[in-house]
Chains A and B, each alone.
Chain A
């Protein structure tokens, strides 16, 4: 077989733009088109974050984008039915499920789905047509605030994604599930963006599952903006279970109003390279944010969690707990920043990052940062990188538990501190099971994917 090396321009940024060029001019919707035009300028100014960029110090995005891939600007024609290739294997999980396939909302009906109480769920393109006033008021109002070339690239390229609107006073009894599927014959790069709006006194839970159903070297960047109104509560759980050739980039932006409560759980079970940006803006007094993360990686996988919590109002509370278990030659990074603005008095902000290295070759970089401009605050941070507790290991062994099982119990316990924060019960049980399997090396991919691979 003759391998034709693609001739690459010297500067990866211009190369990327050239590759996308034919898609950026297309008119989708005036609101989205305006956003994309602005973002394109931002991207040209910012470029792809390289090694010298402090926030991307441990994950070289330029290198990832420097290899051949096909930017997907329009959905490829499907040769399969989604329901035939994918079935969520959380059988007891009673959710309202929606699918984004290769970055495009998978539509079963033309209009947004209207649920009891006026909840609207569907594709972003459809939302722009159907409820333009909502979309215009919120779209790109968070993601435009950061100087991040990768985010700008998504804003410039993404033309579809997921949309959800929960009106004032609406308490949803079932979680909404968003399944991001990737399946194609080519090494595609997908960009999608989503918008989630909760009014006042509302409550909702969102489960996001990232799955790759074929073994191509996919690059996927999902951006999501979440607006949580006064006195509302939201739980977002993200489950990343993919394969070793996969690059999964995600940027989650959350803005919280007065007395709102948000909890995020980011669970990374498998993926070649994973980079998760979490950007939380506490804009109203008394807002509370809990950010939990857990990753379990081996071989040459890489997971980088970058968290930024912006305390922009007084009396807010934030807590971060991120934990990682790294085996073989896996590498990981955690970069957590807490910013307390001058008027954000009585802030309470906490951050803990704990990691276990199972081999001498696994590496973890952790960088806590506090930037405090108010004088009456309570902030703490702590980070550890170590091995399993030898004392605990001996204690278990001295009761007749074999070393392997004892290690499993301890690793499971380590992970449990994060998993117990998932409040959707069947999901918590399921993740417990997945983590157990993952730790025992019995979960190369999720079951469903295996079924599909074997076809």
Chain B
């Protein structure tokens, strides 16, 4: 995926002001930044939320313009978002929801629906792989789930759908250390040479478990610094202020 000079606004307010970066198969990218820097907006723009309007720039995915596609088309092409706040959907059972999603994906690839036996087998395998409580799938989607259960459920869906590009939006927020480990181990277990992950986070903590190849710092709608995993350690140690300062100074200098 290539993002070129991406500008986007919400309710007429500029949030993203020229984002550039590339993600290749097999890579893990971390996007860090203080609150309000535009991290979630970037994720929303990639998956196609209608309240984010792209005013300039491109999102190319295997050379194809993503922004003209519906959210479901993007999903079928292999893009997956682990939501920061997964919505509760009472009355829609996890099983029906996932079977529907799996079969839509199969239809897209020209295959017939998966047999109920194979589907149950698939769910069992993925639960075992992630070490997830089996009772989770007997309930309605996210209904009454704890914060940790909701995040585990996101990763479980990711395991079932096997996306090419997974975006984890603040997947670590509100998790205790055990839940964090489960989630991170899950993400690592799903890593393959042909898929990529973008980890959006405020804290460095998650990156101890999911080790990024690249770290980007987002501030005021722009990537102000990119580096390797060491950058994340610097941020943990020194906070964001030194980077903000450096950025503001560079702006002043250029004036």
Given contacts A400-B76, A409-B96, contact A389 B71 (CB under 8 A): no
| Residues on B with beta carbons closer than 8 Å to the beta carbon of A343 | none
Given contacts A397-B70, A399-B75, A402-B104, contact A416 B89 (CB under 8 A): no
Distance, CA A398 to CA B47, complexed state (A):
7
Contact B91 A400 (CB under 8 A): no
A50 CB within 8 Å of chain B: no
A350 CB within 8 Å of chain B: no
Residue of B nearest to A417 (CB): B91
B161 CB within 8 Å of chain A: yes
Distance, CA A401 to CA B160, complexed state (A):
14
| Residues on B with beta carbons closer than 8 Å to the beta carbon of A409 | 92, 96-97, 100
| Residues on B with beta carbons closer than 8 Å to the beta carbon of A400 | 72, 75-76, 101, 104-105, 108, 161
Q: CB-CB contacts of A400-412 with B at 8 A, as 1s and 0s?
A: 1111011001101
- CB-contacts of A374-431 with B (<8 A): 389, 391-392, 394-403, 405-406, 409-410, 412-417
B83 CB within 8 Å of chain A: yes
Shortest CB distance B38–A (Å): 19
| Residues on A with beta carbons closer than 8 Å to the beta carbon of B75 | 397-400
Shortest CB distance B5–A (Å): 25
Query: Which bucket holds chain A's interface residue count?
Result: 20 to 34
Residue of A nearest to B83 (CB): A395
Distance, CA A413 to CA B87, complexed state (A):
14
| Residues on B with beta carbons closer than 8 Å to the beta carbon of A412 | 91-92
Query: Which secondary structure dominates chain A's binding surface?
Result: helix
Given contacts A398-B75, A399-B75, A400-B72, contact A414 B91 (CB under 8 A): yes
Query: Which of B49, B76, B92, B104 has most chain A Cβ within 10 Å?
Result: B92
Given contacts A398-B47, A403-B72, contact A392 B100 (CB under 8 A): no
Contact B96 A392 (CB under 8 A): no
- CB-contacts of A173-192 with B (<8 A): none
Shortest CB distance A246–B (Å): 29
Q: CB-CB contacts of B74-91 with A at 8 A, as 1s and 0s?
A: 111000110100110111
| Residues on A with beta carbons closer than 8 Å to the beta carbon of B161 | 399-400
Known: A403-B72, A417-B91. 20 other contacts (CB 8 A): A394-B49, A395-B86, A395-B141, A396-B97, A396-B100, A397-B75, A398-B74, A398-B81, A399-B75, A399-B97, A399-B157, A400-B76, A401-B72, A401-B100, A401-B101, A409-B92, A409-B96, A412-B92, A413-B90, A416-B91
**A–B pairs, 29, beta carbons within 8 Å:** A389-B89, A392-B87, A392-B89, A392-B92, A395-B87, A395-B141, A396-B89, A396-B92, A397-B72, A397-B75, A398-B48, A398-B71, A398-B81, A399-B75, A399-B80, A399-B101, A399-B161, A400-B72, A400-B76, A401-B72, A401-B97, A402-B72, A403-B72, A409-B97, A410-B89, A410-B92, A412-B91, A415-B91, A416-B91
